[in-house]
Structure 1
Amino acid sequence: MNLRNTTLLVVLFSATTFYAQESTLADVNLSVEPKLSYLDSIKSTFQKHDIAACVEERWMTELSNQDLYSEMIADIENTNIDQKVDYDLSTELLKERLKALDAKSAFHIEYNPGLENIIKHYLKNRKRSYERLMALSQYYFPIFEEALSKYNVPLEIKYLAVVESALNPRAVSRMGATGLWQFMYGTGKQYNLDITTYTDERSDMLKATDAACQYMVNMYKIFGDWDLVLASYNAGPGNVSKAIRRSGGKQNYWNIRPFLPKETQGYVPAFIATMYVFEYHKEHGITPQKPIVNHFATDTILVKNKMSFKQISELLDISVEQLQFLNPSYKRDFIPYQADKKHFVRLPLDKVAVFTSNENQIYAYCDYDFNKREKPFSSQEMVATSTDVSMISKTKYHKVKRGESLGLIAQRNGVSVTELKRWNGLKSNNIAAGRSLKIVKEERVADVPKKAVEVPVSKAVVSNDTIKVKAKSVETAKFHVVEKGESLFSIAQKYDVTSEELKAWNSLEEETIQSGSKLIVTALVKQKTENHIVQSGESLSSLSKKYGVTIDELKEWNELEDNNIKLGSSLKIMLPADEEVVVAEIKVKKPEKQSPYKSEKVYIVQKGDSLFSISQKIKGVTVSDLKKWNGISGKNIKPGMKLKISG
């Protein structure tokens, strides 16, 4: 009986211990927070505004699809307007509606069988396309109408963009015409549309629309008829003039139509048919789809730094596709920065609010992201690869100012919010102004290479090829690879030493240094560590005076959050080494003066050689050099001649 009870107690105790351990482990696991990325820490500081989003991503692919443009162009080029189309629309009713359109339009809209056929073709075969186009038109048409009104151009010309590009700002024809208004490269340049590697303003809805209006005004001055202006927009004014001459001087579009290029013959009918479908869509049961975005619910922001659509997408939680739709003139999904030219980004209003409220953080993240990219091989990398690199931890303290958040402090110091909370024992993101936060930074330090020596702060005894050192406080050797254009003075300024010290440490007799040579410069001071037991009445202030260090150094060495220290606690004090260092000798190899030429002193001229081809073969030698060194006045040289290739 006693044995059974004892066994039961052991089992219960074991189970309790096991579950207690599980519970503890669970608690530990739950308390571990995932490390926030720099992007997350940036976004956690954003001021946000509760404005309903005006763009729905599910419409993006549907409404900005290139196939609408392809369908429209194929219709214009291939539809036979003389072929009858079976559709439930009486000719009499169509004539009545066309007459009503003509009464309020600057165009000559008159019934003819060809126009009837193309209207019925659109109503029968392109109903779905027009539902999509009408959704897009609710975004673009207000912009078009404002510009057309400004230039006193008929507002109906807004339908021309439907025919030209199917309202796709990135549409590109087989001939290279681009944008909503399908400008060719030369015409775009003629109307001051900027076209570069990164931007194409033919796709900018505001600038391209303005250019299209100017073109229309200029063509109307020539032809005085808006139908012919449309024809010239497609075929060019030269082809329209030829058609007028070939028709015997007739100036009605329908009369000169047979003499126009094939594409232009279907162009004006397609324009009028599109106008009819838009004006009478309700009567034919065509219901516009929901607009992707309302023009008045977007705005532009001046961009003050280069940034990519991907970065904006990550920061503002807006899809790259939406950014492409709203900013089609940036053809590489990248907004450049130029001091002499302004660039803007168009965003939905709720995103505009977030962008303008957090510009500094946004630009900081873009710089951070660009700087992560692989850099070209540099002299600094050469220095690093020539030595062993180790990581050291440095602790500093930051006093929280009014208005600062953990995210902002983390961003400025290149750490995560989670790390800040862990170092400072914080359980939430709330932080009071005035508190001192501990920040631990990992830094890369180049160690002394093998066979490296130690260079003192004090004077060195210099001979021709050695530096003899004897000192109490020494420094670890650090090297600098001379870059093009640097001088001893500029390098001395960089490392806070004198030119004379650099000359002494590197056994230099002159100020001249060659690009690519390696110089010894100052480095990290070696120190010894001493532990101090805090006595009654001592403070950080009194200890800093006693040891000749600063209060901040004491706090950093001992990871103290404030100035309070406890009686009996042990403090780490870093002091210069007391022991005398044995004299060391540094072997310094002087940089060799390198000839810019090859080792050969004479070049034997080969068949087909010229002074120019020889100068190209020999690095650092010019045609003038060859002439001067060999007393040549002209360009003639003969095979077998021996030329000096060194001064």
Structure 2
Amino acid sequence: MDSGKEPDLIRIGMILIAGFVCLQLSSCATTPKAKTLTKVVRVPETIQPSTTYSEPSDAFLAQPDKGVNPSVLSQEQVQVQSNSMVPETSMTESTSSGPAIVEETEEGEEEADSEEEITYDVPIVLNESVEAHMEYFQTVIRDRFELWLSRSGRYIPLMKEIFKSYGLPEDLVFVALIESGFNPIAYSRAKAVGPWQFIKGTGRKYGLRIDEWIDERRDPIKSTIAAAKYLRDLYNMFGSWPLALASYNAGEGKVMRAMARTRSDDFWDLRSTRYLRRETKNYVPKFMAATIIAKNPEKYGFKLDLWEPLQFDEVVIESPTDLRVIAQAAGVTYQGLKDLNPELRSTITPLNYRDYILKLPYGTKQTFLENFATIPPEKRMIQLRHRIRKGETLSTLARRYGTSVQAIRELNGLGKAYAIRQGNYLLIPMSSKVAARQERQERKELSTTITPTLSEDEPGLKKIVYKVRRGDTLWRISKYFNVPISKIRKWNGMHHTSKLRAGERLVLYLKAEES
């Protein structure tokens, strides 16, 4: 080669290389921020991206595991070694700061094309902890996880619509996957209930009714609305989905204290400290692992038989009614009706709940309305919870409530030799006609035991002196007069251990129209 031309060739080569690099950088710089990322990026612990995720619409951020070792999966009590993971696709990661740039090898082109079809609207990281959970789902609890994924087909369409209506990322529905496996009647040792595993306090805070007749934490629609509100509040509080999810598991107070002690607002930083419980440290990686698999289950070897999406009709039940009567009128099975209404804790629609909206199997509404209209009210059997008083027997209860001894035995699972005891409770089946008569009689008796006077202690309210009758409870009195039990205790200087006695007089303060 001519030595005089060699410098020119070198310069030309350098110019071409520089032009190629500039073209690549220009392409990266002009790419707009997207709401979703079309692939999951494997992030080794040596890469330290500098970008942070702040808004739901920001581009996906691949964050490192900050040097945390593969964790013990505390919720499943199984330890998975992440160093045995085999990547699904061969990738080469950029080691520069900022978002990792990924190039697929020729061997992985088919996988890459498939992966590009998968999008995420929450930040998803693929690190050792996430891979450990993915391996756990694919091996240790494979059959169970496959059932959860199959069951998800019943609930995900409705849940996504609800999250969309609240302006939330739809991928958050997979929180229910790791919380309960989309099981409406799931119950934890911590007494969390339903697909979203609400405890009583949080459920009631977000509008769910929980009592002896109904537990709306089990309602897949009402509980999803509550979960959407809660997750929205958590994101508004922390500005980060990883932190919001950690708070969903641990409670916002614990996450706030961990942030204050570490002076960090990054989940992966908090995860490397002792200020979060192991379960919470694993919760976010567990969610990410479940989401990755759920969005592309075939890739990870799951053959699903998806359940049919939830479809139903709705009817208004004006007064407490036996579900078996409703099932018969609709031409469906009692169990099928119960499955559609998992929030119901008894065999009747809830007491003290007028115009209850009941779900019926899709396409049965007209049949139900036609048949139900022909059923006399006295045959629309309902049940009441009755506390046994001294001298009462099954026979006297049956006569009082217009039912039979056998019906009471069957409803309560009582053998023929069982003797009822004073103070115990029984569920009593009775007609709505008898129930209405009983309610009128109780209201009449209550009205004869009150003495209204003007109130000086509570301006704007009328003072009432109520004489306690045999069998009265604070709950019953509070429901009748529509006042909180705490107020009754306060007005009468009662402690939580105080008991009512027949003949005792209670002071109540009511609105004029209610008195």
TM-score by length of structure 1 reads 0.43
Match of 2:374 among 361, 365, 368: 361
Tell me the residue number matched to 2:463.
none
Residue 134 of structure 1, CA deviation: 2.7
1:307/1:366 contact within 8 Å kept: no
Q: What is aligned with 2:68? A: none
Alignment match, 2:314: 300
Residue 4 (structure 2) aligns with: none
Deviation at 1:272, TM superposition (A): 0.9
**CA pair 233-374 structure 1, distance change in 2 beyond 3 A:** farther
Contact 1:102–1:108 at 8 Å: present in 2 too? no
Paired position in structure 1 for 2:77: 78
Give me the identity figure in percent: 25
Aligned to 2:452: none
Matched with 1:347 is 360
Q: 1:158 is paired with a residue of what secondary structure?
A: helix
Go from structure 1 to structure 2 and tell me whether the alpha carbon gap of 1:103 and 1:287 turns closer, same or farther (over 3 Å shift).
closer
Q: 1:255 aligned to 2:269?
A: yes
Higher relative contact order (CA 8 A, sep 6+): 1
How far does residue 136 in structure 1 lie from its aligned partner after superposition?
1.9
Deviation, 1:196, is: 1.4
1:288 to 267, 290, 304: 304
Q: Using a 3 Å threshold, how does the CA distance of structure 1 residues 107 and 484 change in structure 2: closer, same or farther? A: closer
CA distance in 2, matches of 1:315, 1:144: 30
Contact 1:83 1:117 in 2 (8 A): yes
Unaligned runs of 5+ in 2: 1-71, 94-101, 105-110, 385-393, 403-440, 445-501, 506-515
5 Å-filtered alignment, 1:211-230, equals 211-230=226-245
Distance in 2 of aligned mates of 1:356 and 1:74: 51
Aligned partner of 1:201 among 210, 216, 233: 216
Shift of 1:311: 3.2
Which residue is 1:322 aligned to? 336
2:118 aligned with 1:119: no
SS of residue in 1 equivalent to 2:358: strand
- Structure 1's 317 and 154: CA in aligned 2 closer, same or farther, altered over 3 A? same
Distance in 2 separating the partners of 1:366 and 1:195: 28
Match of 1:278 among 294, 299, 303: 294
- Residues 372-521 of structure 1 mapped to structure 2, 5 A cutoff: 376=397
SS of 2:374's equivalent in the other structure is helix
Which residue identity is paired with 1:360? A
Show CA shifts across 1:78-124 (max 9, x none): 24355445668456499978996899434332221221121122123
8 Å Cα contact 1:135-1:290 kept in structure 2: yes
Q: Distance in 2 between matches of 1:348 and 1:485?
A: 37
Change (3 A) 1:237 1:138: same
Cα distance, 1:366 vs structure 2:
4.1
Q: CA deviation at 1:349?
A: 1.6
8 Å Cα contact 2:118-2:296 kept in structure 1: no
**Residues in 2 aligned to 1:105 and 1:127: alpha-carbon distance in whole angstroms:** 23
Deviation of the 1:75 alpha carbon: 6.8
Query: How far did residue 224 of structure 1 move?
Result: 0.3
Compute the displacement of 1:310 (Å).
3.2
Residue 277 of structure 1: SS of its match in structure 2? helix
Change over 3 Å in CA distance of 1:362–1:243 after alignment to 2: farther
2:321–2:381 contact (8 Å) kept in structure 1: no
TM-fit CA distance, 1:179: 1.1
Alignment of 1:610-625 (within 5 A): none
Structure 2: how far apart are the matches of 1:115 and 1:322?
Answer: 38
Which digits, 9 at most, give the CA deviation of each residue in 1:176-215, with x for residues without a partner?
1111111111111111211111001111122211111111
Q: Secondary structure at the match of 1:301?
A: strand
Q: 1:368 to 1:264 in 2, by over 3 A?
A: closer
What is the CA deviation profile of residues 587-614 of structure 1, one whole-angstrom value per residue up to 9, with x for unaligned ones? xxxxxxxxxxxxxxxxxxxxxxxxxxxx
Quick one: distance in 2 between partners of 1:185 and 1:363? 38
1:374 Cα shift? 6.0
Deviation track 1:482-522 (CA, whole Å, cap 9, x = no partner) reads: x9999xxxxxxxxxxxxxxxxxxxxxxxxxxxxxxxxxxxx
Letter in 1 for 2:370: S
1:109–1:311 CA distance, 2 compared to 1 (3 A): same
Aligned pair count? 313
SS at structure 2 position matched to 1:302: strand
Distance in 2 (CA, whole Å) between partners of 1:199 and 1:229 is: 29
SS of equivalent residue, structure 2 residue 338: helix
Whether the 8 Å CA contact 2:194–2:219 is kept in 1: the answer is yes
Q: How does 1:17-28 map to 2 (within 5 A)?
A: none
Offset, 1:323: 2.3
Does the C-alpha gap of structure 1 residues 84 and 302 become closer, same or farther in structure 2, counting only changes over 3 Å? farther
Corresponding letter in the other structure for 1:344:
I
Q: Which amino acid aligns with 1:358?
A: N
Which residue of 2 is the match for residue 3 of structure 1? none
Q: Is the 8 A contact 1:355 1:362 kept in 2?
A: no
Unaligned runs of 5+ in 1: 1-72, 382-482, 487-619, 624-647
Q: Provide the rounded CA distance (Å) in 2 between the counterparts of 1:622 and 1:271.
A: 56
- Give 2:357's aligned amino acid: F
Match runs of 1:452-601 below 5 Å: none
Question: How much has 1:378 moved relative to structure 2?
Answer: 6.6
Q: Out of 164, 170, 174, which is 1:159 matched to?
A: 174
In 1, distance between residues paired with 2:264 and 2:442? 73
State the alpha-carbon separation in 2 of the partners of residues 226 and 102 from structure 1. Answer: 23
Query: RMSD of the TM alignment (CA)?
Result: 3.9
